[in-house]
């Protein structure tokens, strides 16, 4: 095993172990021109790296780099362009070998390039269902993987709990066949992906379905439209709703929160923990 592979495996194992001890924050960094909240803001590599450092100073445990917008209706991006965007920041962030970096992609080729550049987590919003080569890419690169519950198209009539279980059962089967260890998998309820507005609340209320698998659970609700619809707030005015949904998810067992506003979530978790630890 090469020194780089050993380093990445060590980072992977340490962050997954840390998630069993406390709630972690994953800071969102989109190097895209069209993401729903921060599109174009950090498209320049220098601005992106500065933002990554800022989030880290505010308490981000993981940096999640996205090279393609996953908002509904976003224009697709080729694997080559997505990889180029991701590689504009990954080498700089991974150079010292201490940062835990995730890459938000559903493309196996981008996952491989990202892992080679130092990423240790692949965050797949299609849960290894969009690209048939993703599970093997995760296995070959010894990465951790976020498996998002995403059916692609909302169905208001389905039994949400049964469907979630079926989706994750299939994901574990695909991972096992490819050689991805169960302990390297992180489950995400997929708020905003292939769900009705009401189902977004439903999956958050039933995080126990994911906890039953005995692996890490990640929740990403930051600034999403279901918050805006409930509270009648524009995308830049959804922090309070994001904090409330995030803490409710922690109460239900989530151990990683994927967020834009790292400092505010770090403060909220500090208060949450202090109350929980009080006698």
- DSSP 8-class letter at 267: H
Catalytic position from the list 8, 12, 223, 258 = 258
List Cβ neighbours of 71 (8 Å cut-off, separation of 6 or more): 34, 35, 36
Among the residues of the chain, which ranges form H helices? Answer: 3-19, 45-58, 79-87, 90-94, 108-116, 134-140, 160-178, 197-205, 208-211, 225-231, 239-251, 262-277
DSSP per-residue letters across 192-227: TSS--HHHHHHHHHTTHHHHTTTSEEEE--TT-HHH
**107 included as an active-site residue:** no
**Which position among 8, 85, 151, 224 bears the catalytic label?**
224
Is 8 designated active site? no
State the DSSP H helix or E strand holding residue 29, giving kind and residue range, or none if neither. Answer: strand 24-30
Cα of first residue to Cα of last residue in the chain, in angstroms, is 48
Q: Which of 130, 92, 146, 135 is nearest to 112 (CA)?
A: 135
CA 70 to each of CA 15, 33, 131: distance values in angstroms, whole numbers, following the listed order:
25, 12, 15
- Angle, helices 262-277/45-58, rounded to nearest 10 degrees: 10
- The residues assigned a catalytic role are 224, 258
């Amino acid at each position: 095993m090469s020194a780089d592979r050993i380093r990445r495996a060590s980072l992977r194992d340490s962050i997954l172990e840390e998630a069993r001890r406390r709630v972690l924050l994953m800071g969102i960094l989109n190097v895209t021109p069209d993401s729903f909240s921060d599109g174009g803001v950090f498209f320049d590599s220098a601005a992106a790296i500065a933002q990554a450092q800022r989030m880290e100073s505010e308490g981000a445990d993981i940096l999640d780099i996205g090279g393609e917008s996953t908002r509904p209706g976003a224009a697709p991006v080729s694997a080559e362009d997505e990889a180029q965007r991701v590689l504009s920041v990954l080498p700089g962030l991974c150079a010292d070998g201490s940062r835990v970096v995730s890459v938000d992609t559903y493309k196996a080729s981008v996952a491989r390039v990202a892992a080679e550049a130092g990423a240790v987590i692949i965050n797949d919003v299609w849960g290894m269902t969009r690209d048939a080569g993703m599970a093997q890419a995760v296995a070959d690169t010894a990465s951790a993987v976020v498996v998002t519950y995403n059916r692609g198209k909302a169905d208001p009539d389905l039994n949400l709990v049964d469907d979630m279980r079926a989706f994750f059962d299939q994901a574990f089967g695909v991972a096992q066949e490819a050689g991805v260890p169960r302990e390297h998998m992180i489950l995400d309820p997929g708020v905003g992906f292939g769900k009705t507005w009401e189902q977004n609340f439903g999956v958050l209320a039933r995080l126990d379905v994911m906890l039953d698998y005995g692996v890490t659970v990640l929740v990403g609700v930051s600034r999403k439209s279901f918050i805006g619809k409930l509270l009648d707030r524009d995308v830049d005015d959804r922090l309070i709703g994001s904090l409330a949904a995030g803490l409710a998810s922690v109460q239900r067992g989530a151990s990683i929160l994927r967020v834009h506003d790292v400092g505010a979530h770090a403060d909220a978790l500090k208060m949450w923990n202090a109350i929980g630890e009080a006698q």
